[in-house]
Chains A and B, each alone.
Chain A
Amino acid sequence: MVPLSWYLLLSALLFAIGAVGALWRRNAITIFLSIELMLNSVNLSLVAYARILAVRTGELAAAHTGQVIVFFVLAVAAAEAAVGLALFIAVYRNRRTIDVNRQDLMRW
C-alpha cells in the first residue's frame, strides 16, 4: 500500500506535462491530446481525494460522491472531444492545415 498522497503527486506531474504540451506544441491535435491528459490527471486527483476523504471520515458515501463527479467529467470529456474534433475537420476543410500558428484570422 502506498501513501495516498503519492497519487496526488503523480497527478500533479501528469498535469504539468500536459500543460507544457498544450503550451508548446503547434499541432492542434497534439494540443488537444495534452488537454485530455490534463483532464485525466485531474480525474486521478479527484478519485484520490475521494479515497482520502473516505479513509478520514470512515464514510463510503464521500468516496462515492467523488467517483460520481469523475463519471460526469468522463461524459463531458466525451462530448468535448466529439465537438472539438468536428471543429478541427471544419477548420482543416477551410485552411488545409490545423497548425495553430497559421490560424491567424482573428489576430490583430
Chain B
Amino acid sequence: MAVFALFAFLAVASAMVVVTHRNPVYSVMSLVVTLISLAVMFVLLGAPFLAALQVLVYTGAILVLFLFVIMLLNIEREAPGGGHKLQKLGAALAALVFAGLLATWFVAAQGAVEPVPLDAEAVALVPLARHLFSTYLLPFEIVGVLLLAAVIAATALARRGGTSVGEDEA
C-alpha cells in the first residue's frame, strides 16, 4: 500500500514535470523517474522480468538516446509565452475530463478486483519464456527483423552527405 502510494505519487509528479518543463534535459531526467516508478508497479503486479526490461531498455537505452540527441542538436530552452492562457487552461481541463472518463470506464468495466498475494509460481520466469518462444515465436522473429530495419533506417536518416535528399552544405 505504502509502496504503491509512494511510487504512484512519484510517477504522476515527475510526469507533470516531463510535460511542463521548458528544458528538455530536465524532461528526460524526470521521465527516468516516471519509468522507474512504473518498473516498481510492474514488480508489484508480478512481472519482475518486465520491470528489469523497463529499466534496461527504457532508462538504459532509449532515454540515453534522447539525451544524446538533445546534446547533439544543442536545443535551446523553449521560448516562454508559446500558446495562449486560454489554450493552456483548455488543455488542462480536457486532461482532467479525459482522465476522469478513462478512469470511470476502467472501473466500470473492471469492477473492484480483490488482489491475491503473489506466490513463487506467479512470478516464475520459465513459463513466461516457454510462452514467448513457442506461442509467440513468429512475432518474436518479426520483432528482430523490425529492430534490424530500424537500425538501418536510423543510420541512413542520420547520415551526413551521401545521396540523401535535402542535405545542406553547413
Contacts and interface: CB of A to CB of B under 8 A. Distances in A.
Interface string B121-139: 1100001100110011001
Query: What's the dominant secondary structure at chain B's contact region?
Result: helix
Contacts of A33: 18, 24, 27-28, 31, 66
Given A16-B102, A82-B151, A92 B115 contact: no
Contacts, number: 245
Interface string B23-34: 010011001001
Interface residues of A, number: 77
Nearest to B151: A82
Contacts of B131: 61, 64-65, 68
A20 B150 contact: no
B28 A1 contact: no
Given A5-B111, A74-B57, A81-B62, A37 B15 contact: yes
A82 B65 contact: yes
B45 A7 contact: yes
A13 B12 contact: yes
B95 A20 contact: yes
Contacts of B27: 29-30, 33
Interface string B77-115: 010001100011001101110110011001100111111
Given A55-B114, A85-B66, 9 more contacts: A5-B112, A7-B41, A14-B34, A17-B99, A20-B91, A34-B19, A48-B45, A79-B147, A82-B154
